[in-house]
Amino acid sequence: VRLGKDLRQAMACGQFRLHYQPILALHDGRIRGAEALLRWQHPERGWISPAEFIPLAEDSGLIVELGSWVFAEVCRQLQQWRQLQPQLHISVNVSPIQFFADNANLLQWPAQLAAHGLPGDSVVLEITERLLLDNRDQVSTQLHALRQCGIRVSLDDFGTGYSSLSYLKKFAIDYLKIDQSFVRHLETDGSDRALCEAIIAMAHRLDMRVVAEGIELAAHHDWLREAGCDFGQGFLFARALPAAEFEALLRQRR
């Protein structure tokens, strides 16, 4: 409860940071992008996980303002980092509230990208299956408008939510992210391997690319690459890094 009150003050005091987890193309091992992940440095409690404060920010509606801050920060970093790597893209997690709130401003993002001289395809929106459950027409309209401007859409935690495969037909989706729970035991679990193979085959048939998350072992990486998975992220390569560390990695791997 206390934490909820602290959130608004945290915005004002600049206690949020974005960390960046590299996303690699599995076929050549090169960094293609990063997922921006929010961190809150609380003055008394230290680092607080988004798993803890995002739900509070959603309940209070502050997620809209926080989401705008995240996007502005991502634009700023993209402008800098695309000088090091011109094709770099950043994935941004968005909450369903950002699609539905009255003052939701996702539809202003293309103009914001343009103002920074950034192409639409420098940004990927990470949404979850939860978003696709309600208000389908409103969501579908907004997703189409964003995609018209080149922004791409990734379905996060794929396979763990309330997914109905019909979503994949109805909504314009560019990437499926295989949830970490299917990756974690790949080396020993034949069912997980079968599920990953099926997801990859289905995605490719529907002209989507696949990102595997939670790659922790070389065995996961090797198997996924052989199976034709396009991209990967996980502790094997890097955890989510402070901006300066991600930039150092970009320079070193250029």
Query: Which residue from 126, 179, 192, 230 is in contact with Na ion, where contact means CB under 5 A?
Result: 126
Q: Looking at beta carbons only, is 117 or 218 nearer to ligand G? A: 218
Long-range contacts for 165-168 (Cβ within 8 Å, ≥24 apart)?
165/202, 167/129, 167/132, 168/202, 168/206, 168/208
169 in Cβ contact with 162 (< 8 Å):
no
Q: What is the enclosing helix (H) or strand (E) of 41?
A: strand 31-42
**Binding partner at 88 among Na ion, ligand G, Mn ion, none, C-beta below 5 to 8 Å by kind:** none
Please give the residues from 36 up to 55 whose contact with ligand G meets the rule CB under 6 A.
37-38, 49-51, 54
Query: Which residue from 6, 156, 192, 230 is in contact with Mn ion, where contact means CB under 5 A?
Result: 156
**Binding partner at 240 among Mn ion, Na ion, ligand G, none, C-beta below 5 to 8 Å by kind:** ligand G
Number of residues near ligand G (by CB under 6 A) = 22
Instruction: Report if residue 230 touches Mn ion, rule: CB under 5 A.
Output: no
Q: Quick one: tokens of 105?
A: 């401003």
Q: Considering only CA atoms, which of 48, 22, 162, 36 is closest in space to residue 7?
A: 48
Instruction: Report if residue 95 touches Na ion, rule: CB under 5 A.
Output: no
What is residue 173's three-state secondary structure?
coil
Please give the residues from 94 up to 153 whose contact with ligand G meets the rule CB under 6 A.
94-95
Q: Using CA atoms in the order 115, 116, 122, 124, what is the torsion angle rounded to 10 degrees?
A: -60
Residues that bind Na ion (CB under 5 A): 93, 126, 156
Residues that bind ligand G (CB under 6 A): 21, 37-38, 49-51, 54, 70, 93-95, 156-157, 180, 213-216, 233-235, 240
